[in-house]
Every structure is written in structure tokens, then in C-alpha cells.
Amino acid sequence: MFDGFQLEDVALGEVTLRMRHSGHGPAVLLLHGHPRTHATWHKVAPLLAARHTVVCPDLRGYGRSSKPPTRPDHAQASKRVMAADCVALMRHLGHESFSVVGHDRGAYAAFRTAMDHPAQVERLAVLDAVPIVEALERCDTRFAAAWWHWFFFAQPHKPERAILADPDAWYNNTPAKRAQMGEQAYADYQAAIHDPATVHAMLEDYRAGLGIDRAHDEADRAAGRRLSCPLLVLWALRDDMERLYGNPLDVWRPWAGALQGRSLDCGHHMAEERPEELAAALLQFLNEP
């Protein structure tokens, strides 16, 4: 897994991030979603590393990265501090500017990185996500039925107890999932979902999402702030994006000037299900003139 990549723990003040990096050329940062770790990218990252310097961290709170103390407003898990982590990590590696790709919860951290640090982010790719404020404002019975976990995860204490009672049952772990992820990536994911500190920190991500993250999106929109870099949006045909939003590009259009995107014929975890197709789409976007 990640042949040729270097594994490091990087201290960045409040947090230490576990990450892998390799390759040459313009830098690209890959951010995973819930409940994965950076290992979800192990089929995609080597395909990008032929033309790019590729950096894959565990987000704060996830995997084997630090779990900062919980704050009453959940700010320690906000996408704003995750974005600051991203910039600090890339500077540590010598990259003052870079592109960023985010999937699922990592897409929110990637979006916030581009919004808060426009001088650093050259291109942004978002996989299977719309801005948090847009998702919450469009919440209806379809959203509540499909994405009920957003609201359950935001409750105190009970979601930790429910997940940790049987993590494999909660996350629907099956031999097929194990085969799709690959043995080493699956083992990394297993360690994460069975660790009480990691489960709590991952839930804090959702608690921040319903409060402080939404407020940051609302403040940007009220101030008329938009992305200053090109945006690629990719979504899975066999997930909920089109059912909930129609064409996701319509949701993103008020946030971006240079916007493009399309669907991939797969389920939610596209980096694991369609790595070659995803890598090709990303390479085309990252290397456009």
C-alpha cells in the first residue's frame, strides 16, 4: 500500500498529523471522509504521483492524527481549524501553494481551505458534497431519511455508545467492503472505528458541522465571498447527490466562478470503487492550462 510513499507524523502546534507523501511536480493534498483515514486514497495517490507531489493526511480527530480537547462550541473540530492544519502541513513540506481534493467530510475541509486561504489554493476538487449550509437549508424528508446520521451524530454521548457497542455492525462491515478497500486500508479503518477517542473526535466533526461550520458558510455568503480558484465537482451516480439536489453544479454555482463537474458511475467511496477513473478526472483538471 502506498508503494514509494513516505509515512510521517508531523507536529503542527495544537495537532500532530499522520500523513504520507510522494511524487514530484505541483502539490496536491487529498482529504478523506468519515469514517475513513488517509488510506482510502491508496489506489488513487500513486496514479497522481507520476505528475504531482501527493500529500495524504489523516484529518485532525481521524485515524492516528491528534484528537484536540473538546470545546463547548466544537471549534476544535471545525473545518476552519482543519483548513489551517492543511496550510501548515503543506508549508512544513515546502509548498506555499497547492491544489486540494476532498471527499465527504474531507470535502468540507477542502472547501474551507480554499475559502479561508485563497492565496494558497490553486485548484479545488470536491467529491460527493455540497456546502454544509446548502445541505442544511435544503433539508427535507428525503434528506432526513437518508442522512439522519448528521443529526444523530450531533447529539451528546449517545452516538458514541451506539457505535462503540458494535463498530462493525454500525458501519456495515462485510467481506465485500474489506475486499474493495484492500487488506491494509481495511485494517487501518478498523483500528480507527474501534478506538473510543477516534470515534468521539469523528462525531465532533459532525457537531461542528451543524453549528460553527454552518455559521462560517453563512458569514461568507453574506459577505459575498466566493471561491477564487477553479472548482471541479464529482459525484457518484449510485449515491444520493442527484436525488437530493438534482444537478449538484447548480448548488455550487453561486460559490464559484470557474466551475465544472460530472458524475461517476459508482457508489459513495469512489476512490475505492473507481480509482483509475477518478485519478484520470483529477489529472485532467489539475493539469488544465
- C-beta separation of 32 from 104 below 8 A: yes
pLDDT digits (tens, 9 = 90+) for 38-52: 999 999 999 999 999
Contacts of 159 (CB under 8 A, 6+ apart): 152, 153, 203
- C-beta separation of 203 from 231 below 8 A: no
Question: What is the set of domains in the chain, with CATH numbers?
Answer: 6-286 (3.40.50.1820)
Mean pLDDT of 240-244: 96
In this model, does residue 189 exceed pLDDT 90?
yes
pLDDT digits (tens, 9 = 90+) for 58-80: 999 999 999 999 999 999 999 99
Q: Which of 117, 195, 240, 268 is catalytic?
A: 268
Give the separation between CA 200 and CA 9, rounded to whole angstroms. Answer: 21
Confidence of residue 289 (pLDDT cuts 50, 70, 90): confident
Chain-wide mean pLDDT for the chain?
A: 97
265 is catalytic: no
Q: What is residue 78's predicted lDDT score, i.e. its pLDDT?
A: 98
Mean pLDDT of 244-248: 97
pTM score, whole prediction: 0.98
268 is catalytic: yes
Burial class (CB in 10 A: 0-12, 13-18, 19+), 93: middle
Q: Which of 58, 85, 104, 217 is catalytic?
A: 104
Mean pLDDT of 234-238: 97
Percent share of the chain, pLDDT over 90: 100
Mean pLDDT of 178-202: 98
Give the separation between CA 270 and CA 265, rounded to whole angstroms. Answer: 9
